Homo-oligomer: A and B are copies of this chain.
Amino acid sequence: MAIEFWQEEFETLGKKDLQKLQVDRLNKTIESACRSPFYGNLYSKKNIKPGAIKAISQIAELPFTTKQDLRENFPYGFLSLPKKDIIRLHSSSGTTGNPTVIFHNRHDLKSWANLMARSLFCAGIRDTDVFQNICGYGLFTGGLGFQYGIETLGALSIPAGAGNSLRQIKLMRDYGTTAAHAIPSYLGRLYEVFEAEGLDPKRDTQLKTLVIGAEPHTDAQRKRIEEMYGVRAFNSFGLSEMNGPGVAFECTHQNGLHIWEDSYVVEIIDPETLQPVPDGEYGELVMTTLDREAMPLIRYRTRDITRIIPGECECGRTHRRIDRITGRSDDMFIIKGCNVFPMQIEGVLMKIPEVGSDYMIHLETMNGADEMVVEVEVKSDWFQGDIKRLNSLSNTITRQIRDEVLAKPIVKLVEAGSIPKSEGKAIRVTDNRKNGLLN
């Protein structure tokens, strides 16, 4: 297959040219940000001036922006343009407290739609595809974000919205849907409805491509979805503060998400020391908008934990790749000097066929030393009293977790169903250490 790009001139820029573009755009962004009350005030206090950035590494000299800053300066403290120029807002939900709001002018929406089209193209979607957008519209950015991107790409968009599985299936079959976007957990439910109707998506639809995002998920989950639907599933990453979807996307090589560096400066920092971590190491993603006029954000701490995947991608795109999100920096704990995110542990466990559906991580102080005890359910039909197999599985899990997070765990295998289920969001970590921080 010939290598194809949506915007070859941007997507394949050499490192030097990309950094030059970033420096130019960052200075422009600082200039524009200074017109907002928040940055105008902050940068004048710190004597930061547009044009001060000569090399992109100097971005580390600028202060961070946090979600708390957004909340405290609600609603217009970050606005760099007169209200009259704004044509859309997206706001977090909730009926009490200050939401997070992002404003867009015409340029911003066009730029976002273009990045979204570039993302879809990079995952192999073309103007000949029929694309069903299975997600909420309105203030949630997934709806309008994908909608404008699909239309910009020129594929046939079906603005299906969320829910109503029978109708989703009918739409897929009526119009020959070839590609769809949904959150991974919904695709599991939708498959059950296919089954209940006596249908098999592999046989009874024309689906080739699924785009999954908005929910952290493991590669094992992706593979299950690919098998259920007989498709290739691509990981989509975005957050409303950076527009929404279209920030980073997997290409057809499915080896990480290209993050669009002509539109964002990407940093990975240690959330404790706030210092940059080397490529390949996990840390908190920090992002700066480079092509947003209404509401630029500079060094925004996303709280999402990922890493830069070292090396180049075979697809020819020079924009670096981030790994799938393994959690939020708020979830991170430190054990034996290692930063650990529960999703890393889950990722290891989900790949082991003997492992059941639940696990817990207990941080304990034992004989004066802190230990990570990982309690793991085994599948109900697997263990039949063979102690040797049990020890062998335990050793495998121990070794694989240590390889992943560097800290060696104490693995305890337990019967299926013996870990209590929490209501709502699963609680995966308890901290019983003498100086534990998580309680």
Set B86, B87, B161: member contacting A137, Cβ < 8 A? B161
B91 contacts A156, CB within 8 Å? no
A143 and B137 in contact (CB under 8 A), knowing A89-B156, A89-B158?
A: yes
B174 contacts A161, CB within 8 Å? no
B139 contacts A89, CB within 8 Å? no
B156 contacts A139, CB within 8 Å? no
Tell me, rounded to whole Å, the shortest Cβ–Cβ distance linking A266 to chain B: 28
- Name the CB-closest residue of B to A155: B87
- Name the CB-closest residue of B to A82: B128
- Determine the chain B residues whose CB is within 8 A of the CB of A167 once the complex forms: 93-95
- What class of interface size applies to chain A in its complex with B? 35 or more
Set B95, B144, B154, B174: member contacting A159, Cβ < 8 A? B144
A151 and B106 in contact (CB under 8 A), knowing A83-B156, A143-B137, A156-B88?
A: yes
Tell me, rounded to whole Å, the shortest Cβ–Cβ distance linking A194 to chain B: 14
- Determine the chain B residues whose CB is within 8 A of the CB of A136 once the complex forms: 161
- Determine the chain B residues whose CB is within 8 A of the CB of A84 once the complex forms: 127-128, 154
Q: Is A75 an interface residue (CB 8 A)?
A: yes
- Name the CB-closest residue of B to A174: B75
Integer count of this chain's copies in the complex = 2
- Determine the chain B residues whose CB is within 8 A of the CB of A87 once the complex forms: 150-151, 154-157
- Determine the chain B residues whose CB is within 8 A of the CB of A103 once the complex forms: 156
Q: Is A99 an interface residue (CB 8 A)?
A: yes
Main secondary structure of the interface of A (DSSP, over half): mixed
Complex CA distance for A74 and B157, rounded to whole angstroms: 18
- Name the CB-closest residue of B to A130: B83
Complex CA distance for A128 and B87, rounded to whole angstroms: 10
Within 8 A of B (CB), among A161-214: 161, 164, 166-167, 170-171, 174-175
Complex CA distance for A54 and B389, rounded to whole angstroms: 88
- Determine the chain B residues whose CB is within 8 A of the CB of A161 once the complex forms: 136-139
- Name the CB-closest residue of B to A147: B144
A91 contacts B171, CB within 8 Å? yes
A86 contacts B156, CB within 8 Å? yes
Q: Is A53 an interface residue (CB 8 A)?
A: no
Residue from the set A156, A161, A171 with the largest chain B CB neighbour count within 10 Å: A156
Q: Is A160 an interface residue (CB 8 A)?
A: yes
Tell me, rounded to whole Å, the shortest Cβ–Cβ distance linking A156 to chain B: 5
Complex CA distance for A127 and B87, rounded to whole angstroms: 8
A109 and B151 in contact (CB under 8 A), knowing A84-B128, A137-B143, A166-B95?
A: yes
Tell me, rounded to whole Å, the shortest Cβ–Cβ distance linking A357 to chain B: 31
- Determine the chain B residues whose CB is within 8 A of the CB of A99 once the complex forms: 174
The digit string for A228-263, where 1 denotes a CB below 8 A from any CB of B, is 000000000000000000000000000000000000
The digit string for A325-360, where 1 denotes a CB below 8 A from any CB of B, is 000000000000000000000000000000000000
- Determine the chain B residues whose CB is within 8 A of the CB of A170 once the complex forms: 95
7 tightest CB-CB pairs across the interface, nearest first? A138-B161, A137-B137, A95-B166, A87-B151, A88-B157, A86-B156, A138-B159
Report which A residues bind B (CB closer than 8 A).
74-75, 83-84, 86-91, 93-95, 99, 101, 103, 106, 109, 127-128, 136-139, 143-144, 147, 150-151, 154-161, 164, 166-167, 170-171, 174-175
Other contacts beyond A95-B166, A95-B170, A103-B156: 13, CB < 8 A: A83-B156, A87-B151, A87-B157, A88-B151, A89-B158, A136-B161, A137-B143, A137-B159, A138-B143, A138-B159, A139-B160, A139-B161, A144-B159
The 6 sampled A-B contact pairs (Cβ below 8 Å) are A87-B154, A88-B156, A88-B157, A91-B174, A94-B167, A95-B164
